[in-house]
Amino acid sequence: MSAIQNKLFIGGKFVDAKDGATIAVHNPHDNSLITHVAEAKAADVDAAVDAAERAFPLWSGMAAAERGKLLLKLADRIEAEADALAQLEAIDTGHPIRDAKNIDVLRTAACYRYFGGMADKFQGSVIPVDAGFINYVQRAPIGVVGQIVPWNFPLMFTSWKLGPALAAGNTVVMKPSEITPLSTLRIAELMAEIGFPEGVVNIVIGYGHTAGQHLAEHPKVGKISFTGSTETGRRIVEASKGNLKRVQLELGGKGANIVFDDANLIAAVNGSAWAIFHNQGQACIAGSRLIIHEKVADEFLERFVKLASSIRLGNPLDPETEMGPLTSTLHRDRVLSYVDIAQQQGATILTGGKAPSNPDLSKGCYIEPTVVRAKPTDRVSQEEVFGPFVSVTTFKDDAEALQIANMTEYGLGGGLWTRDLSRAHKMAREIRAGMVWVNSYKRVNPGSPFGGVGQSGYGREMGFEAMHDYTEAKSVWVNVDAQILPHFKR
Ligand code: NAD
């Protein structure tokens, strides 16, 4: 692996923080120190916003196809560097290397490629208005956009945010999570090499309450795109009110995953394990609530628990590893605290609920895949645990399944397993969520809108929806040969 970049990226240059502060970044496999990264505070964020503001006329004035070409080049470079990027992501986040390479890196490249192709295909429109007038609507970039990213999928989420923002002609100040900033800095290095003009993208690593808050409040920032917890999302909305900046929020989730009695049980068991245990359950769309028809519950759970307890935990860099550590010690402890909470409310731990006994993993942030039988009203069935922790409950009929599915405050992702076509469509319509998967779970694609309802936030990433969210409609009226209205005619 080449030397790891650890400075802020402002105005096309890698720089130390103005006050020289740094943040330690650790490998969650053994908590060893990887590097210290520069820590941005308000003055560094100001410098980044100024650089983005200076770059805006050039970037937004460039032919859309030229912007697209740079994004396409970036996609190619990411694929060419797949191994190194996957390694960096694996040591920084704990993602198993095979997922980091085959999912994170490939989806990241696909996302930049999609929006690279989109840049010159996202069109305005001509509206049939009053006689004698032409009215056309342009999709104008917003200006300087602030983007705040969490630690669970840093590489991929960076592409979800940068791709549409840049394709649409905005310039960006991005604040990655202070816990996992490394792959984002590598992307910045690639952008600089490829020839993105300086200041188009600026990366400020820093803590949420300082750098993040300052960015969210900044009067020169026209929009904040935020992915993170619902609690922080509320702070972002508060912080945005000074200049009424636009806000798009991708927040928490508590995905309902319903298994009906006519489901292909083997597919449902495998798919449900993927739904919760991929990335150690640290996914906002994770299928963290299994809702199973009582007729098939025993057979399903026997198979599911067996599968969960056979998942290979290990060093993320080992290609055989299926589940790595959680991303930080603090978070591991938070997830483990939910085991006590579950037991206090009378839930039964069917498997897991503790750190693995393997001494090779004793220094890391590992937790065994955990399956808990709980009431739908229990805290573990209502609150986002954000770990390899699934709560299981049963239902008698479709109406009860739907009632349980819709009884949390969240509304991000949800899934269902059935062979009955009309039930599938009906449930997909009725589940309160931004995304529903039928006989699968956790599919994403750069063309398909991603986001939630209720406490899961608003606005959408990906696809044309994202391009709309990163632009303003500008309506232009041209008098071609219209008669001037009689008022004030002299
Ligand atoms: P978090 O809200 O603590 O932090 C997210 C980001 O916000 C980080 O970069 C953090 O530094 C920053 N931040 C924290 N306080 C801030 C403040 N006051 N002002 C501005 N920025 C601030 O969340 P997290 O623990 O990093 O991530 C996990 C959460 O993210 C989970 O709740 C999860 O569901 C959610 N998430 C949602 C989606 C989605 O697309 N809906 C995707 C991934 C994660």
Q: Whose CA is nearest to atom 12 of ligand 1?
A: 208
Query: Distance between CA atoms of 431 and 53, rounded to whole angstroms?
Result: 42
Q: Which residue ranges have their beta carbon within 6 Å of ligand 1?
A: 148-152, 175, 177-178, 207-209, 212-213, 216, 227-229, 232, 235-236, 250-253, 284, 384, 386, 412, 452, 456-457
Confidence bin at 1 (pLDDT 50/70/90): low
pLDDT tens digits for 177-219? 999 999 999 999 999 999 999 999 999 999 999 999 999 999 9
CA-452 nearest atom, ligand 1: 41
| Cα–Cα distances in angstroms (integers) from residue 172 to residues 56, 67, 220, 238, in the given order | 9, 14, 12, 21
Q: What spacing in Å lies between the alpha carbon of 72 and ligand 1's midpoint?
A: 28
Q: What spacing in Å lies between the alpha carbon of 129 and ligand 1's midpoint?
A: 44
Assess whether pLDDT exceeds 90 at residue 485.
no
Tokens of 349: 């731990």
pLDDT tens digits for 446-456? 999 999 999 99
Assess whether pLDDT exceeds 90 at residue 41.
yes
Mean of pLDDT values over 267-284: 98
Confidence bin at 490 (pLDDT 50/70/90): confident
pLDDT for the residue numbered 131:
92
- Ligand 1 pocket test, candidate residues 111, 173, 204, 229, most atoms within 8 A of CB: 229
pLDDT for the residue numbered 401:
98
Mean of pLDDT values over 464-484: 94
pLDDT tens digits for 180-189? 999 999 999 9
Assess whether pLDDT exceeds 80 at residue 287.
yes
pLDDT for the residue numbered 423:
98
pLDDT tens digits for 375-423? 999 999 999 999 999 999 999 999 999 999 999 999 999 999 999 999 9
pLDDT for the residue numbered 487:
76
- The answer to whether 148 and 236 are in contact (CB under 8 A) is yes
Q: What spacing in Å lies between the alpha carbon of 321 and ligand 1's midpoint?
A: 27
- Ligand 1 pocket test, candidate residues 111, 148, 335, most atoms within 8 A of CB: 148
Q: What spacing in Å lies between the alpha carbon of 249 and ligand 1's midpoint?
A: 10
Average pLDDT, the chain: 97
Tokens of 417: 């397993």
Task: State the virtual CA torsion across 196, 197, 201, 205 in degrees, nearest 10.
Answer: 100
Mean of pLDDT values over 298-309: 98
Q: What spacing in Å lies between the alpha carbon of 457 and ligand 1's midpoint?
A: 12
Query: Distance between CA atoms of 317 and 329, rounded to whole angstroms?
Result: 19
Core vs surface per residue 326-354: b (16+ CB within 10 A) or e: bbbeebbeebbebbebbeeeebebbbbbe
CA-230 nearest atom, ligand 1: 32
Assess whether pLDDT exceeds 90 at residue 148.
yes
Torsional sign, CA 96, 363, 332, 236: negative
Torsional sign, CA 275, 280, 285, 290: positive
Assess whether pLDDT exceeds 80 at residue 486.
no
pLDDT tens digits for 222-264? 999 999 999 999 999 999 999 999 999 999 999 999 999 999 9
Q: What spacing in Å lies between the alpha carbon of 234 and ligand 1's midpoint?
A: 11
Place of tokens 């839930």: 347
- Ligand 1 pocket test, candidate residues 156, 205, 227, 334, most atoms within 8 A of CB: 227
User: Is the backbone of residue 227 left (phi > 0), alpha (psi -120 to 50) or beta?
Assistant: beta
Confidence bin at 82 (pLDDT 50/70/90): very high
Confidence bin at 2 (pLDDT 50/70/90): low
CB neighbour class for 35 (10 Å; exposed up to 12, middle 13-18, buried from 19): middle
Mean of pLDDT values over 347-359: 96
- The answer to whether 431 and 402 are in contact (CB under 8 A) is yes
Mean of pLDDT values over 109-138: 97
- Domains of the chain, by residue range, sit at 8-251+456-476, 256-438
Q: Whose CA is nearest to atom 20 of ligand 1?
A: 212
Catalytic residue among 89, 217, 250, 465: 250
- Greatest Cα pair distance in the chain: 93
Q: Would you mind telling me the total number of residues written for the chain in this entry? A: 490
Percent residues over pLDDT 90 in the chain: 98
- 284 as an active site residue: the answer is yes
CB neighbour class for 357 (10 Å; exposed up to 12, middle 13-18, buried from 19): exposed
CATH number for the domain running over 256-438: 3.40.309.10
CA-412 nearest atom, ligand 1: 41
Q: Whose CA is nearest to atom 40 of ligand 1?
A: 250
**Candidates 3.40.50.720, 3.40.190.10, 3.40.630.40, 3.40.605.10; CATH matching 8-251+456-476:** 3.40.605.10
Radius of gyration of the chain (CA): 24
Please give the full DSSP string across 127-166, using - where no structure is assigned.
Answer: E--STTEEEEEEEEE-SEEEEE--SSSHHHHHHHHHHHHH
| Cα–Cα distances in angstroms (integers) from residue 162 to residues 120, 188, 304, 319, 426, in the given order | 16, 11, 38, 29, 35
